[in-house]
C-alpha cells in the first residue's frame, strides 16, 4: 500500500471530514474546562492540564539554536527542546527559538502511539511561561481561532483514531479516546491555535502552540 506523507494526511484530516464518524462525544465540563475567566482581582484562573503530563523541562535562558543535516535544533545543553526542518536562510529556526523562549516546558499527548505515521497523532503544548515574549515572525499567518465551549471529541472510525474539533474546524487528531480527552483538556484553555513547521520528506515536524 502506498504510504501517504504525514503532512498530507494531517492536512486531509484537519481540513476535510475524514469520512463518516462513528462516535461523537461533546467535551463536558468534567472532561475539559472552558477558557478560564479572570477573577475579580484580575488574575487568571488556573488552567487545567492532563494528569501526569508528559513534559520536557528546560531553562529558556540557556537555549541555543544550531543548524545541522537540514534542520534547526533548539536545545538547552543536551536537552533537545525542538527540531524544525528548513533551509539555512529560512526564518524557521528563529521562530522555533522564540517560541521555546516563551516557556519552560514542552509537553505532549500521545508520544507513545505506535501508528505508522506516529507524529501525526502526537499533540504538543507548552507550559510554565518564562515571562519573555519574543516575536515569532509570521505568527499571524500560522494561527486560527476556535470556540473552546464547542469542542467535540469524535471517533473517526475504521481504526483511524480520534479527532477534536469545533464544528467543522478540526484542531488535532489522536490515537485513542484517552488521548483525545487529554488533548481536549488542553485545548479548552485557549481560543487560538498556531503551528510551526512542516514535512521534510521523512518526518513530520509540526509544532502546535497557543499564544
Q: Read off the pLDDT of residues 34-53 as tens digits, 9 standing for 90 and up.
A: 444 444 444 455 799 999 99
Residue 106: predicted pLDDT: 98
> For residue 76, which phi and psi values (nearest 5 degrees)?
-110, 95
Residue 203: predicted pLDDT: 53
Name which residue leads in pLDDT, 11 or 146: 146
Mean pLDDT for the stretch of residues 134-154: 95
Read off the C-alpha cell for 41: 482581582
Cα 10 to Cα 5, 77, 112, 149: the distances in Å are 9, 32, 18, 24
Mean pLDDT for the stretch of residues 16-23: 48
Give CA–CA dist 117/139, Å, rounded. 26
With a cut of 50, say whether residue 163 has pLDDT above it. Answer: yes
Name which residue leads in pLDDT, 24 or 13: 24
Read off the C-alpha cell for 131: 515571562
Give CA–CA dist 197/48, Å, rounded. 27
Is residue 202 a contact partner of residue 209, using CB atoms and an 8 Å limit? no
Amino acid at each position: 500500500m502506498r504510504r501517504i506523507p504525514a503532512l498530507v494526511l494531517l492536512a486531509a484530516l484537519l481540513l476535510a471530514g475524514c469520512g463518516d464518524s462513528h462516535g461523537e462525544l461533546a467535551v463536558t465540563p468534567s472532561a475539559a474546562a472552558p477558557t478560564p475567566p479572570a477573577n475579580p482581582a484580575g488574575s487568571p484562573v488556573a488552567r487545567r492540564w492532563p494528569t501526569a503530563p508528559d513534559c520536557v523541562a528546560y531553562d529558556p535562558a540557556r537555549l541555543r539554536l544550531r543548524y545541522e543535516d537540514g534542520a534547526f535544533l533548539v536545545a538547552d545543553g543536551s536537552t533537545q527542546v525542538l527540531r524544525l526542518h528548513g533551509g539555512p536562510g529560512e526564518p524557521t529556526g528563529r521562530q522555533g527559538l522564540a517560541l521555546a523562549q516563551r516557556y519552560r516546558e514542552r509537553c505532549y499527548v500521545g508520544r507513545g502511539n505506535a501508528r505508522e505515521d506516529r507524529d501525526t497523532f502526537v499533540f504538543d503544548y507548552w507550559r510554565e511561561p518564562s515571562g519573555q515574549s519574543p516575536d515569532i515572525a509570521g505568527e499571524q499567518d500560522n494561527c486560527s481561532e476556535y470556540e473552546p465551549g464547542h469542542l467535540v471529541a469524535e471517533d473517526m472510525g475504521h481504526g483511524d483514531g480520534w479527532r477534536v474539533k469545533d464544528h467543522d474546524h478540526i484542531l488535532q487528531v489522536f490515537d485513542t479516546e484517552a488521548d483525545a480527552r487529554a488533548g481536549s483538556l488542553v485545548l479548552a484553555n485557549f481560543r487560538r491555535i498556531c503551528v510551526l513547521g512542516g514535512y521534510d520528506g521523512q518526518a513530520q515536524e509540526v509544532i502546535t502552540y497557543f499564544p
